[in-house]
Structure 1
């Protein structure tokens, strides 16, 4: 049977992955307003500072394995014997890197005196490293089993939600909060290890074929280093230079930004195994899927940016309370990073990695990391935590610019202008409506403010999409309403038109 017949609908996968992401985000959205008031900004800052330290060691343990395993495994998933051999090799390499990461971690926390105050938190947080390794989520992604991933995540998050309200009651419970956070993100991984027998017999092996895997793994590892650095550099620098309270405020803004970014990215994150298959077997299908994904990102990231910016104050108040109002201007700045962060993720995961251009991905993200660290180091001592937000903007722009250049040959084949025009028109009308509402209306209750303005702005944007007859929005609406989407013949015809346009452009250049 053809691979395409064995695999589930990509739209179904996107919806399931979005559901998993949204449910994973609902957990902190429900608990964070509670724990931020109970624990206070200082204790929240301690937990997030410890988390940022552990993330560097988790980074080494990961070694770029997830993206590499999904890309290469998707190409051989119809051959169970080859896939089993490959999965065992990758799993063994991951066990080795995790062991090395743990050794380095314990040496570091013993040797660095300033980390002793966070010892309990660090020990708890480091459990994530081992749980992530045995979870083998990459194996489920290879077979696009997002239904299982979604169900197990939702169940564990539900249990964690109950534990949070049962055990966290006072400021000194921040260590318990950290433990529940680890349980929420890692408990399902134990379940995942035993359930992996559905696809293959997973066990360590002495035949790792290390020489074959090491080069692409190290290249993707370099990419992951850069991503982790420019994702966590702000927290690390703010914590080291300004203190726990400032980290707590900065964390609120970054948490909202991260939630929105992950929800948008979840719509397209499921595409890597399918694109890895199409790039070698069906180039027309590859181009058509890219076009659909990029248009979806365009019509999603523009309104998301504007909504987060215009509703930043009620969002902060609802999530954290008046003690965290200082995070409002920070959120207003990082909201605009969504305009680049979500296309960045798509360019790397949908074009560069499937086409085995991981060295270009590493170049782009390393550039972003250098820009972010340099600006944080220079600006935070003089301008405070707000400069860390501007550093995020600069880093994402740097990654965007480099990624766009490296993927230009494929981007030229896409038709994005109509979606971009429709999104910008809808965004402009939202900004105009926000100015009018600020002039004529004031809401004292942040819940009412968020609900009323959010619904009005969403209605404006949906109306623009309907009036302009945006094809990507229509496609998503048809899927949501379970109406019949475009036929295979229509999809093939669109791919032909795109390729024909590309040939004409090349001929004109000659």
Structure 2
């Protein structure tokens, strides 16, 4: 296909940039929307979205994850990739039809959903958008540059639509439409741009004998994962009210954004790791998987600690003083972040590339059952904090269950020096936070100094204690700078010689 092998580091950087964009724009839009629409209307939007999300999953059918893994195995042959892509697209069309029919039946059958019909109708456009978007194809061919640019354009369009049309509490339906419409347009463009790599068309030759079982296993795993993530909002909406849904949604949105940022480091490696295993390059697979683990742990731990110590300020800045009660649930979710992301690593860097999706399925089923049972037991009394606590316990269960399998197939060895450097860096963040709380009373100054000083203290701890992952990143950066300088020097000398 003439595809150039791309650096995982570059891919991680591009995917990280895309994810950062998805963080920056909500930091602009969410505070505005939260203040304009207020807690109850934000709760309406998030409750209806939690309902629609189940049907988006049915439409997706686990195809994206399966397509990335299996597509990476055939991507060097344009003909094989074209056939495979058309099969995935055609299966997706069938699942979308089933999903839409199921959504209509449920909305008509459940009286509580009747008042949410306008919201659900608009948000359900995401079902079609995910089908024609074929974003999995761009991950297969590792075209993260295109995905990043597309993400930037979508966010800008959504931002413009928000400020143009959302001005008061009654505009919550329009608010829901802004992101959906922008994404729908981008997904249409995605479909036509895909012709750069393959021609995707509907085919009756679905090759279900090969694809059906692994797709359904991944689908079942994805559904159960979504159940124990989204059931919190749904059950909270039934057992409590829209006010508490709005509070919980604020902390969950922050939690989800952080998960997406850290997961970006892992997800870009899935096609490469799958390709290493398919071509029997086990040593390269193990080295890459361990390097990724070290990199993402180095990012994960300070983020977790940082959010915990700044949760009150983060909530006030992003959503406003009326959402102050969400700070406690955000603290609980910050602890959940560590277990969730380690489980994400186990899933995407080890289990899926090794075709062990049944292990993921079993873990997610157990976690989902635990989460739902505890939701009914705790939400009635503890509201959004109970929902956050059940999420924490579910993520712990998932992480521990996967660990006992992963340790049999991949030995992740890290030095004691590496562990101590991370711990000392995180302790430094806690000390910085405590000192700032004592000496800095001005809200904004306190938060800014906490962030800046925490970054400095954490990086200093890593370098002073010779964290090998941090030193490797620094050395790689310095080598690239030297190469750039050398290249410029050679170009300058060549220019002078020509003169």
| TM-score, reference length from structure 1 | 0.92
Partner of 2:361: 362
Aligned to 1:144: 142
Compute the displacement of 1:330 (Å): 1.1
Partner of 1:246: 244
State the partner residue of 1:209. 207
Are the structure 2 counterparts of residues 131 and 22 from structure 1 closer, same or farther at C-alpha, using a change threshold of 3 Å?
same
- The one-character-per-residue Cα deviations of 1:317-367 (angstroms, maximum 9, x if unpaired) are 110111010111111111111111111111100100000101001111112
Shift of 1:478: 4.1
- Return the match for 2:37 from 36, 39, 60: 39
Cα deviation for residue 384 of structure 1 reads: 2.0
Q: CA contact under 8 A between 2:82 and 2:198: conserved in structure 1?
A: yes
Distance 2:320 2:479 in 1: 40
Number of residue pairs matched? 482
What residue number does 2:277 align with? Answer: 279
State the match for 1:460 in structure 2.
457
Cα distance in structure 2, aligned partners of 1:449 and 1:441: 5
Cross-structure match for 1:404: 403
Query: Cα 1:353–1:478, aligned 2, differ >3 Å: closer, same or farther?
Result: same
User: 1:98 — aligned with what?
Assistant: 96
Query: Alignment partner of 1:407: what SS?
Result: helix
Q: What RMSD over aligned residues (CA atoms) do the two structures have, in Å?
A: 1.7
The equivalent residue for 2:265 is 267
Task: Decide which moves more: 364-373 or 394-403.
Answer: 364-373
The 8 Å contact of residues 417 and 466 in structure 2, kept in 1 or not, is answered as no
Q: Paired residue for 2:224? A: 226
Q: Is the 8 A contact 1:299 1:419 kept in 2?
A: no
Which residue does 2:492 correspond to in 1?
none
* Native 8 Å contact 2:22 2:257 kept in 1: no
Residue 471 of structure 2 is aligned to residue 474 of structure 1: yes
Q: Deviations over 1:367-421 (max 9, x none)?
A: 2111111110111112222111111110110010111112112342433644332
Q: Structure 2 unaligned runs (5+)?
A: 483-499
SS in 2 for 1:6: coil
Decide whether aligned partners of structure 1 residues 478 and 132 sit closer, same or farther in structure 2, where only a CA change above 3 A counts: farther
Cα distance in 2, alignment partners of residues 140 and 66 from structure 1: 11
What is the CA distance between 1:438 and its match in structure 2? 2.1
Among 46, 58, 61, the alignment partner of 1:60 is: 58
Deviations 1:436-480 (A, max 9, x none): 33233322x3x3332111111111101101111212122333455
How far the C-alpha of 1:313 sits from its partner, in A, is 1.2
Cα distance, 1:234 vs structure 2: 1.1
Is the CA contact (8 Å cut-off) linking 2:436 and 2:449 kept in structure 1?
Answer: no
CA distance in structure 2 between the partners assigned to 1:351 and 1:284 by the alignment: 14
Which residue does the alignment assign to 1:488?
none
Contact 1:290 1:414 in 2 (8 A): no
Q: Deviations 1:173-230 (Å, cap 9, x if unpaired)?
A: 0010000021244331111000111111100001001121111011001110111111
Q: Pairwise mapping of residues 421-500 of structure 1 onto structure 2 (< 5 A)?
A: 421-443=420-442, 445=443, 447-479=444-476, 483=480
Deviating above 6 A after TM superposition, structure 1's stretches of 4 or more consecutive aligned residues are none
Measure the CA separation in 2 of the matches of 1:267 and 1:12. Answer: 11
Deviation at 1:432, TM superposition (A): 2.1
Please name the residue that 2:118 is paired with. 120
Closer/same/farther in 2, CA of residues 169 and 275 from structure 1, 3 Å limit: same
Distance in 2 separating the partners of 1:479 and 1:106 = 54
In 2: Cα distance, 1:440 partner to 1:179 partner? 45
- Could you tell me whether the CA contact under 8 Å between 1:57 and 1:101 is conserved in 2? yes
Give the distance between the partners of 2:481 and 2:403, measured in 1 at CA. 34
Structure 1 pair 417/240, CA: closer, same or farther in 2 (3 Å)? farther
> Given that residues 294 and 416 in structure 1 are in contact (C-alpha distance below 8 angstroms), is that contact kept between their aligned partners in structure 2?
no
Aligned equivalent of 2:160: 162
Corresponding residue of 1:374 = 373
Q: Secondary structure at the match of 1:483?
A: helix
> Which segments of 5 or more consecutive residues in structure 1 lack a partner in the other structure?
486-510
Match of 1:323 in 2: 322
- Corresponding residue number in structure 1 for 2:81: 83
Q: Would the aligned equivalents of 2:417 and 2:465 in 1 still touch at CA under 8 Å?
A: no
- The match for 2:496 is none
Q: Closer, same or farther in 2 for the Cα pair 1:477/1:188, shift >3 Å? A: farther
**Residues 7, 143 of structure 1: 8 Å contact kept:** no
Contact 1:68–1:220 under 8 Å retained in 2: yes
**Residues 421, 466 of structure 2: 8 Å contact kept:** no
**8 A Cα contact 1:380 1:387, kept in partner:** yes
Which deviations, in whole Å up to 9, do the C-alpha atoms of 1:160-185 show, x marking residues without a partner? 11111111101000010000021244
2-structure distance, mates of 1:51, 1:480:
42
